[in-house]
Amino acid sequence: MILVKAGGGAGLNWPGLAEDLAAFRGVTPVALIHGANAARADLAARLGVPVRTVLSPAGISSVYTDDEAMDIFCMAYPGLANSRIVACLQSHGLNAVGLSGLDGRLWEAKAKKDLLIQEDGKTKLLRNNRTGRVEKVNAGLIRILLDHGYLPVMTGPAISRENEIVNTDNDGAAAAVAAALGVETLVFLLEAPGFLRDAADPQSLVASIPRDEIDRYGAFAQGRMKKKWLGIKQALDAGVREIFLGDGRTAHPLRDALDGRGTVIR
């Protein structure tokens, strides 16, 4: 089984990805997870409440999600982005069904309301952060849909144990889904050629990383790749056999990634 996690940037080539997914029909089951960063940032800016990105003491960036940011998240992720993606996949003959982590408790998370951040050289505590880490995946719901020929198209938010709507890291969720479903192949589609030794230099693509050297390469990760690296480690620990990081902007993003044109971790 293949799980594809597509980033939420504006540059992702969804019609191309849809064509690639259509080629897999009848070959192996496929499920999809997507982000919606671009749609969220756009809506937040239009509403005059820009997305607030914060940095943890360990240097991992994340989004501070108060009540209003949570509403904007719901409007952008399961609302606008998921609707458009499902319609795009349907137009390519794929019987897509959109699911947020709330549906059937697909992604149940442990809420983490207090957030330590570093700002202006100090460590601060932000309260009422509506985020959580996915601990439990409703694999049964995904399997039912796959068994009946549907393509599950998952996205945040997650639901907390206490039934709150919470933001969650989609890469961490992808790792949890991969573990729950026994996924062998996990593909991350980015707005970059793959894993770069130097984020500023597209020529510094690393074509192949042995799984036991993950930590060594992780030292090169910058910005959002740091968080993705945590998800990748989590997925490898959960038994995923191979992970591809490919460019989501090419004419055939999934085919190219699986052909090894990005980064392969085995």
Binding site for its own copies (CB under 8 A): 43, 46-47, 71, 74-80, 82-84, 86-87, 90-91, 95-100, 102-105, 140-141, 144, 148, 150, 157, 159, 163-165
**Integer Cα distance of 171 and 35 in angstroms:** 9
Instruction: Report the candidate in 107, 77, 83, 112 with the shortest Cα–Cα distance to residue 96.
Output: 83
Instruction: Report the candidate in 162, 111, 164 with the shortest Cα–Cα distance to residue 134.
Output: 111
Q: Which is nearer to its own copies, 104 or 218 (CB)?
A: 104
Give the chain's largest Cα–Cα span.
Answer: 54
CB of 262 to its own copies, least distance (A): 30
Place of tokens 């085919």: 255
CB of 266 to its own copies, least distance (A): 35
Residue pair 88/15 in contact by the 8 Å Cβ criterion: yes
CB of 112 to its own copies, least distance (A): 18
CB of 211 to its own copies, least distance (A): 36
Q: Which is nearer to its own copies, 70 or 189 (CB)?
A: 70
**Integer Cα distance of 98 and 88 in angstroms:** 12
CB of 137 to its own copies, least distance (A): 15
Q: Is 165 exposed, middle or buried (0-12, 13-18, 19+ CB in 10 A)?
A: buried
Q: Which is nearer to its own copies, 79 or 262 (CB)?
A: 79
Q: Which is nearer to its own copies, 32 or 43 (CB)?
A: 43
Q: Which is nearer to its own copies, 103 or 184 (CB)?
A: 103
Residue 192 DSSP code: S
